[in-house]
């Protein structure tokens, strides 16, 4: 019995020890001890120093705070936000200087947007990208943008609808009317075989009467070897997206040669295939695009219940896709010499040995490459009403 009691006592002590060690929250960090960053900005000053700008959420006493919780979209409501900046010779140096002017510990866990200034991009993004990808804290799925306006002006905006400028930009990118590029994707492009990358451009719509200024996405910035080499407009951006197989949603308006009004279509689905060729030392690329669309508005006199009119419209849409692709290709090949379409990866997958032998002269190969664009458009449905009941003259 004595041995049994001793054994039971020992077991009880052993079970109590881990419970005692696990109890309590001695090392927890309270929300109001953190400088919660919602948007990060990076630019270069006139004296060539790196400038780090952050939008910090200020926690106000609420039930959420008392329970220790917070959400990702916190720019207004229970608290407000401020913009702070610091300078340094490197990204890590700027972060340390930023911490010196903040009473709370910098917390990047809620930061979902990084905005680069054009002055920094012209000098090169390699150093800051090394920090953002090497450090374990920044989110690799954060969206990236480039601004030709001062980054501070973008961060100081307060959208009237969304809770923060970062949320507004992120949702615009997710709508995929323009490019949607994450920090991880930017790093992969910059370190990829072509050393070329694209970043969506954020612009500021000026204040107009009662309408406050707001940020929106318009155009594309092109990087080569980590440095900004040019920008493309909205039409050229569409060409980039067709070639990169990133068109997910779109409304296209076209007017066939014999039509007396425009026709608008909504994209249902699309697919782009890159087919590389090497014949007798000549490198070329075939781009095959297939897209399915629905007619959503017909302001012409054409009756699209007629097959001939459908085929005429499909042909016009095919030509429109080719024109936009050629616009983007022309500038990328001749002006920027930047393979932002993934051609290098397509050649490597199909011709790995030839690629490795010629990778050092890829810029010349890409710039002089013949690209054959084959577009096939299918108008799946002419719409619910068929022949317009408001245009009896439709033929």
- Given this model, what pLDDT does residue 64 score? 43
Structural Rg of the chain based on CA atoms: 28
3-state SS class at 236: helix
Q: What is the mean pLDDT of residues 344-364?
A: 95
pLDDT confidence band for 370 (50 / 70 / 90)? very high
pLDDT at residue 178 in the model: 85
The yes-or-no verdict on residue 72 having pLDDT over 50 is no
pLDDT digit string (tens) for 149-173?
Answer: 999 999 998 887 787 888 899 999 9
Q: 63 pLDDT band (50/70/90 cuts)?
A: very low
Q: Where are the domains of the chain?
A: 33-59+77-232, 235-395
pLDDT for the residue 19: 56
State the pLDDT at residue 77. Answer: 39
Give pLDDT, residue 70. 39
pLDDT digits (tens, 9 = 90+) for 337-350: 999 999 999 999 99
More confident residue, 58 or 234: 234
Q: Give dist(CA 56, CA 39) in Å, integer.
A: 8
For the segment 198-210, the average pLDDT, to the nearest whole number, is 90
Please state, in angstroms and rounded to a whole number, the distance separating the CA atoms of residues 298 and 16.
78
Residues 19-31 have pLDDT tens digits of 555 555 555 566 6
Res 155: pLDDT = 92
383, pLDDT greater than 50 = yes
Q: Judge whether residue 66 has pLDDT over 50.
A: no
| CA 343 – CA 94 distance, rounded (Å) | 37
Least confident of 75-79, 158-162, 269-273, 340-344: 75-79
235-395 is classed CATH 2.60.40.420: no
Three-state secondary-structure class, residue 8: helix
Q: DSSP assignment, residue 32?
A: G
pLDDT at 148 over 70: yes
Among 2-11, 180-189, 222-231, the range scoring the smallest mean pLDDT is: 2-11
Between 3 and 112, whose confidence is greater?
112
How confident is the model over 39-43, as a mean pLDDT? 94
User: Is pLDDT of 67 > 60?
Assistant: no
pLDDT (average), residues 291-319: 89
Average pLDDT over residues 298-305: 84
Average pLDDT of every residue of the chain:
86
pLDDT band at 382 (very low <50, low <70, confident <90, very high): confident
Rounded to an integer, the average pLDDT of 190-215 is: 91
Q: Per-residue DSSP letters for 308-367? A: HHHHHHHHHHHHHHHHHHHHHHHIIIIII----SSHHHHHHHH-HHHHHHHGGGHHHHHH
Helix (H, G, I), strand (E, B) or coil at 146: strand
Residue 10 in this model has a pLDDT that exceeds 90: no
Q: Helix or strand or coil: residue 169?
A: helix
Gap between the Cα atoms of 82 and 75, Å rounded: 9
């Amino acid at each position: 019995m004595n041995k049994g009691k001793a054994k039971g006592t020992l077991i009880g002590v052993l079970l109590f020890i881990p419970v005692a060690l696990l109890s309590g929250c001695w090392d927890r960090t309270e929300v109001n001890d953190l400088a919660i960053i919602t948007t990060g900005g990076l630019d270069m000053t006139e004296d060539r120093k790196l400038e780090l700008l952050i939008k910090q959420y200020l926690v106000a006493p609420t039930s959420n705070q008392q329970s220790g919780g917070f959400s990702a979209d916190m720019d207004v409501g229970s608290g407000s936000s401020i913009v702070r900046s610091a300078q340094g010779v490197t990204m890590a140096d700027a972060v340390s200087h930023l911490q010196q002017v903040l009473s709370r510990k910098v917390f990047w866990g809620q930061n979902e947007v990084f905005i680069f200034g054009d002055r920094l991009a012209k000098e090169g993004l390699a150093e800051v990208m090394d920090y953002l990808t090497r450090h374990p804290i920044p989110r690799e799925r954060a969206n990236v943008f480039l601004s030709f306006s001062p980054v501070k002006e973008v961060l100081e905006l307060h959208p009237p609808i969304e809770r923060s400028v970062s949320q507004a930009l992120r949702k615009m990118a997710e709508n995929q009317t323009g490019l949607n590029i994450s920090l991880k994707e930017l790093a992969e492009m910059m370190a990829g075989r072509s050393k070329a990358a694209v970043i969506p451009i954020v612009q500021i719509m000026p204040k107009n009467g009662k309408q406050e200024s707001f940020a929106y996405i318009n155009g594309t910035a092109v990087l080569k070897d980590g440095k900004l080499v040019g920008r493309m407009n909205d039409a050229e951006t569409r060409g980039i997206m067709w070639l990169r197989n990133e068109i997910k949603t779109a409304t296209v308006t076209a007017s066939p040669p014999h039509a007396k009004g425009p026709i608008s279509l909504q994209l249902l689905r699309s697919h782009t295939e890159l087919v590389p060729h090497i014949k007798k030392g000549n490198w070329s690329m075939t781009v095959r695009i297939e897209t399915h669309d629905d007619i959503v508005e017909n302001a012409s006199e054409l009756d699209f219940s007629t097959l001939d009119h459908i085929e005429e419209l499909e042909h016009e849409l095919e030509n429109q896709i080719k024109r936009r692709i050629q616009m983007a290709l022309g500038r990328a090949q001749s002006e920027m010499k930047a393979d932002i379409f993934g051609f290098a990866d397509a050649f490597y997958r199909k011709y790995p040995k030839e690629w490795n032998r010629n990778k050092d002269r890829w810029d010349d190969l890409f710039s002089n490459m013949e690209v054959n664009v084959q577009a096939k458009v299918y108008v799946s449905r002419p719409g619910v009403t068929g022949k317009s009941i408001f245009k009896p003259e439709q033929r």
